[in-house]
Structure 1
Amino acid sequence: MSRPEQAAAPTPGDPSGPPAAASTPSGVGARPKRRRWGRIALVALLAVALLGAGGAVAGALWLRSVERGVDRVDAFAEVPEQERPATAARGALNVMVLGSDSRDPDGTQGSRADTIIVAHLPKDRSSAELISIPRDTWVPVPRSADGRQGGREAKINAAYAWGGVPLMVRTVEQFTGVRIDHVVLVDFAGFREIIDALGGVEITSEKTFTSIHPPFRTFRQGPQLMDGETALDYARQRKQFADGDFARIRHQQQVIKAILDRAASGGILANPGRLNAFVRATSDSVSVDRGMSLLDMATQLRGLRGGNLFFFTSPSRGTGTVGSESVVFADDRRARTLYDAVRRDAVKEIVAAGS
């Protein structure tokens, strides 16, 4: 297994010129209160799953300590109950995971949700089904609470800029028909430290390619051990792939699975130093809604491993343009089948519809 690739000093700059920033709807965005949210946004669930796997009193003590320091957000404020989907499967949970990469060299100014995931946790908690919704998916966005934004179709990530987490909840619930029970956000700044605390993660690159960002690493085809900075760079790459942002989603999913696999098999629970670094990096990065108990979630996810973590991408008909914006068009029929299975907690149907 090779060490992370460190590119030799190539000619500075991307020969194709600076990457174009993604177009987003105009308007004054709601600014995040204390931090911006990270791209690899399931670290929160992975962390509590890891500690739950420990099963020791020490894990509970750690989580109680961590839980007191985790930021809370009013995720469901300004979400009218009368417009929300009904709960169809008692005991199952649906967690919306949001992230944006404030340090992405391709990023634009302002608050955007670059990563949107609906994570379904079945009633028996035997698995987790993670559905990534492309950030450019063209959907109806409800009007914001102040009445100044929304009320029209736009890219789905515009909802976060226009009305913060509550408008994202409303938009995702309207798009999917799935009731969101909890929200998780992760500060991107902690991503590197989290992976480094695990001693790196193993990622298999589908092809050999060179990063478009300094220091212009070359990722060789096949498996390789990546430290936090290298994995972060890998997760950002999309312009070298024919399917663009779908490749970025695929890379995110690889890194999420690799984090969980490494955490479960890397002996971190037996290494107090690494455990301390991992938990502290995670707790510094995570924000959750006010109703989420990390201790309860850890207990429920104690059996979660890479082998029972399933990744899907929300069905689409492909890409196109609306006016001057490049967008992703949802495949309404296939999406309706997938999200109806999520709503009913029909795991086999989720897998069939998402495959």
Structure 2
Amino acid sequence: MPHRQQYVEPETTVLDGPSTPEPTEASRPRRRRWRKIGLISLLVVTLLGGGTAIAGGLYLRSVESDIDRVDAFSGVPEADRPQAVAKGALNIMILGSDSRDPENTTGSRTDTIILAHLPKDRSSAQLISIPRDTWVHVPRSKDGNHGGRDAKINAAFAWGGVPLMVQTVEKFTGVRIDHVMMIDFAGFKEIIDALGGIDVNSEKTFTSIHPPFRTFQQGMQRMDGETALDYSRQRKQFPDGDFARIRHQQQVIKAILDQAVSGGIVTNPARLNSFVKATSSAVSVDEGMSLLGMATDLRGLRGNNLVFLTTPTKGTGRVGSESVVFADAEGTRSFYEAVRHDTVQEIIKGGK
């Protein structure tokens, strides 16, 4: 039986699936190096809001000019892009990899594809995962050498970089992408250690497949950066494979946010400085994103109103020799219509 995913499962979201075959070296576009933890850097620094808004603003101003920028929308035909429907809402495409994953022998994969939807009132955020093996139509690349056919969605990055990923995700979802951010899950180690560790609830007892072969006990446990990074990589010990690894990544993201708010980082100058050093210099965003403006927008966001969702799927299967994830066409259409109209929260509240 194929594995089926419900599309409103805040605690069991899917972030990726089996890997996509890589293009030849000659066909790979030149890419800038993946930066560490763009999502975590942005969200956690914005969580310094409230009484520390001035200090947070000073930190953001000090790093804004040094942030690595990516030309995310170059060559994306405006005539082909979906139009924004809900004025004031924002949609951020987050692309991630794990460059130090022992199983990752190449740096060109996009292991994680997330559409972060920020409602107009900024009272919450929905992080919507698109499995990387989702079978979609990939538009033709700018050089004309790739795309123009159906493929796994993460092939778009290998064939045409960020701009082709923007085109592909927009075509698949019908949602206009306002900003782009890059992350590297390997950067979790430095972030978590700067926070003094995080608390993660393991769904069962299992042993890591990577040295030093840690055993994770079922239940809540304290993890330092190296341990949490190891935990976020595990999948082969679970019947749903990569779907489990994605759940682990989500747990770690939420735990980082919760720890940043409750762990006293703001009142401890040394830890705050360590955190800023571990994150702010590693942020990579599109040329139009302002971290100071985003921090102001998201100053009320907390871990308990950050919701993880998954694109509706029909499960896994094969196309030729490739293992793929099939989208639920009708479910996907109606779900992303809710994103476009900024009504996702109504779906969540209704439990549909």
Task: State TM-score, norm by structure 1.
Answer: 0.90
Alignment of 1:18-167 (within 5 A): 22-24=19-21, 26-27=23-24, 28-33=27-32, 35-37=33-35, 42-167=39-164
* Partners of 2:156 and 2:164 within 8 A in 1: yes
Give CA-to-partner distance per residue, 1:116-146, whole Å, 9 cap, x none: 0000000000000111111111111111100
Q: Does 1:274 align with 2:271?
A: yes
Partner of residue 235 from structure 1, selected from 232, 246, 262: 232
User: Which segments of structure 1 move beyond 4 Å, counting only runs of 4 or more?
Assistant: 352-355
Partner of residue 248 from structure 1, selected from 225, 245, 252: 245
Give the Å deviation of 1:29: 1.8
Structure with more contact order per residue of length (Cα contacts < 8 Å, sep ≥ 6): 2
Give the Å deviation of 1:22: 2.9
Q: Secondary structure at the match of 2:23?
A: coil
CA RMSD of aligned residues (A): 1.7
Q: Does 1:329 align with 2:318?
A: no
Give the Å deviation of 1:338: 1.1
* Partners of 2:38 and 2:282 within 8 A in 1: no
- Counterpart in the other structure of 1:12: none
AA matched with 2:55 = A
- Counterpart in the other structure of 1:339: 336
Change (3 A) 1:237 1:254: same
In 2, Cα distance between the equivalents of 1:240 and 1:57?
Answer: 46
- Counterpart in the other structure of 2:204: 207
AA matched with 2:28 = G
User: Which runs of no fewer than 5 residues in structure 2 stay unpaired?
Assistant: 1-17
Alignment of 1:166-177 (within 5 A): 166-177=163-174
Give the Å deviation of 1:48: 3.2
Identify which range, 49-58 or 210-219, moves more after superposition. 49-58
Partner of residue 301 from structure 2, selected from 301, 304, 313: 304
Q: Secondary structure at the match of 2:266?
A: helix
In 1, Cα distance between the equivalents of 2:51 and 2:127?
Answer: 23
User: Which runs of no fewer than 5 residues in structure 1 stay unpaired?
Assistant: 1-20
AA matched with 1:255 = V
AA matched with 1:143 = R
Change (3 A) 1:171 1:122: same
Change (3 A) 1:177 1:353: farther
* Partners of 1:41 and 1:115 within 8 A in 2: no
- Counterpart in the other structure of 2:291: 294
Partner of residue 315 from structure 2, selected from 315, 318, 331: 318
Give the Å deviation of 1:314: 1.1
- Counterpart in the other structure of 1:16: none
AA matched with 1:30 = P
AA matched with 1:314 = T
Give the Å deviation of 1:110: 4.3
Give the Å deviation of 1:256: 0.9
* Partners of 2:132 and 2:152 within 8 A in 1: yes
Change (3 A) 1:215 1:354: farther
Task: State TM-score, norm by structure 2.
Answer: 0.90
- Counterpart in the other structure of 2:218: 221
* Partners of 2:46 and 2:56 within 8 A in 1: no
Identify which range, 89-98 or 61-70, moves more after superposition. 61-70
In 1, Cα distance between the equivalents of 2:280 and 2:257?
Answer: 16
* Partners of 1:139 and 1:156 within 8 A in 2: yes
In 2, Cα distance between the equivalents of 1:235 and 1:251?
Answer: 5
Identify which range, 185-194 or 98-107, moves more after superposition. 185-194
AA matched with 2:246 = I
Q: Secondary structure at the match of 2:47?
A: helix
Change (3 A) 1:283 1:109: same
Identity %: 71
AA matched with 2:309 = F
Identify which range, 48-57 or 300-309, moves more after superposition. 48-57
In 1, Cα distance between the equivalents of 2:120 and 2:53?
Answer: 24
Give the Å deviation of 1:42: 2.4
Identify which range, 276-285 or 53-62, moves more after superposition. 53-62
